Amino acid sequence: MPPSHLLRAFLVGMALAAGPAHAQAPGGLDKVSFGTNWVAQAEHGGFYQAVADGTYARYGLDVTIVPGGPNVNNRIQLIAGKIEFFMSANTLQSFDAVANNVPVVAVAAIFQKDPQVFLAHPQSKVTKLEDLKPLTLFVSKEGMPTYFQWLKSEYGFSEENVKPYTFNAQPFLADKNSAMQGYVTSEPFAVEKQAKFKPTVILLADYGFNAYSTLIETRTAFAEKKADLVQRFVDASVTGWYTYLYGDNSAGNALIKKANPEMTDDLLAYSVEKMKQYGIVDSGDTLKDGIGAMSDAHMADFFGKMVRAGVTRRDIDYRKAYTLRFVNKAVGLNLRPKN
């Protein structure tokens, strides 16, 4: 789901709440919980895979995945010390935490590309991002203060043509001169199924919206005091993602469907295919540094764009939002297919 900006003072207060819930599980495994930001789906696949095939256990961890949802805020659970790790939406959440003195830190970036897209009708002849400008754009309330501000500052988009997106495709389907926001791994599939046509897909990441997405986040103090455990969680998660993308992911998918009975095999397969096709997880720096890679240069570049767009305050120390201590170690590269 898009990043939430509803933290502010409440989260700062919660940051002083109970300490880590870390405990020793039977069999000598370290027991930890990982909260996602939405219901179980392929976009969480590597984490479920690492649970299902025993990867976390091989790294000495007993991991419980706590699914998110419309009425669940696992970010608050992380800050309150109720869970050890959280899957944050994208880098903007990390910057927002710094701005509000919330003591959390991103320790890995599973998605090198944010999956945010616009979908257009074939009749509109859209071939590139700029072609969207004259169309009616359906944008969510979370999208307006975030990526759309970047569209305005970098590409000269206007709010005049924007209408609210309520996660209902019908207004888009009814207007061939419109475009709708979505994720490359899900909304195009839903449109194809519902309307029986293949929409044109414009991935914002391919035009410079270079936020990391699906980051592993933990409390800053936990990363410092439990560095070995954090390293094992990151390495095992990365291994799970290589297996989920390139190996036998049936165990991970079975666990996803158990956690989310509404999930279907065809959507899972579609999502995995699109993650690979668009290089959402494995592209750029990951080709040499491994899945989860982050870099100072990448973070600095995105921060600069968000400052210019008025999304992020210029005076924050964005470097507090992340650490490279646990990534860029080429973990799992041997699991990527050679061809």
- What is the pLDDT at residue 13? 35
Structure tokens at 2: 């898009």
CA atoms within 13 A on the CB side of 253: 17
Amino acid identity for residue 261 in this structure: P
- What is the pLDDT at residue 23? 52
Closest among 146, 148, 164 to 156, alpha carbons compared: 148
CA atoms within 13 A on the CB side of 26: 0
DSSP state of 72: B
Considering the entire predicted model, what is its pTM?
Answer: 0.91
> Which segments of the chain are extended strands (E)?
23-24, 30-35, 61-66, 85-90, 104-111, 116-120, 136-139, 162-164, 178-183, 200-203, 213-219
Range list of H helices, 89-132? 91-99
202 neighbors 122 (Cβ within 8 angstroms): no
CA atoms within 13 A on the CB side of 236: 25
Question: What does the alpha-carbon distance between residue 163 and residue 34 come to, in Å, rounded to a whole number?
Answer: 35
Question: What does the alpha-carbon distance between residue 201 and residue 300 come to, in Å, rounded to a whole number?
Answer: 28
Question: What does the alpha-carbon distance between residue 44 and residue 53 come to, in Å, rounded to a whole number?
Answer: 15
- Buried b or exposed e, range 115-137, using 16+ CB within 10 angstroms: bbbbbbbeebebeebebbeebbb
Which pLDDT tens digits describe the chain residue by residue (339 residues)? 443 333 333 333 333 333 334 455 556 999 999 999 999 999 999 999 999 999 999 999 999 999 999 889 999 999 999 999 999 999 999 999 999 999 999 999 999 999 999 999 999 999 999 999 999 999 999 999 999 999 999 999 999 999 999 999 999 999 999 999 999 999 999 999 999 999 999 999 999 999 999 999 999 999 999 999 999 999 999 999 999 999 999 999 999 999 999 999 999 999 999 999 999 999 999 999 999 999 999 999 999 999 999 999 999 999 999 999 999 999 999 999 987
Question: What does the alpha-carbon distance between residue 94 and residue 87 come to, in Å, rounded to a whole number?
Answer: 11
- What is the pLDDT at residue 25? 54
Interhelix angle 250-259/265-277, rounded to 10 degrees, is 120
Question: What does the alpha-carbon distance between residue 293 and residue 285 come to, in Å, rounded to a whole number?
Answer: 6
273 neighbors 292 (Cβ within 8 angstroms): no
Question: What does the alpha-carbon distance between residue 201 and residue 164 come to, in Å, rounded to a whole number?
Answer: 19
Question: What does the alpha-carbon distance between residue 147 and residue 279 come to, in Å, rounded to a whole number?
Answer: 20
173 neighbors 191 (Cβ within 8 angstroms): yes
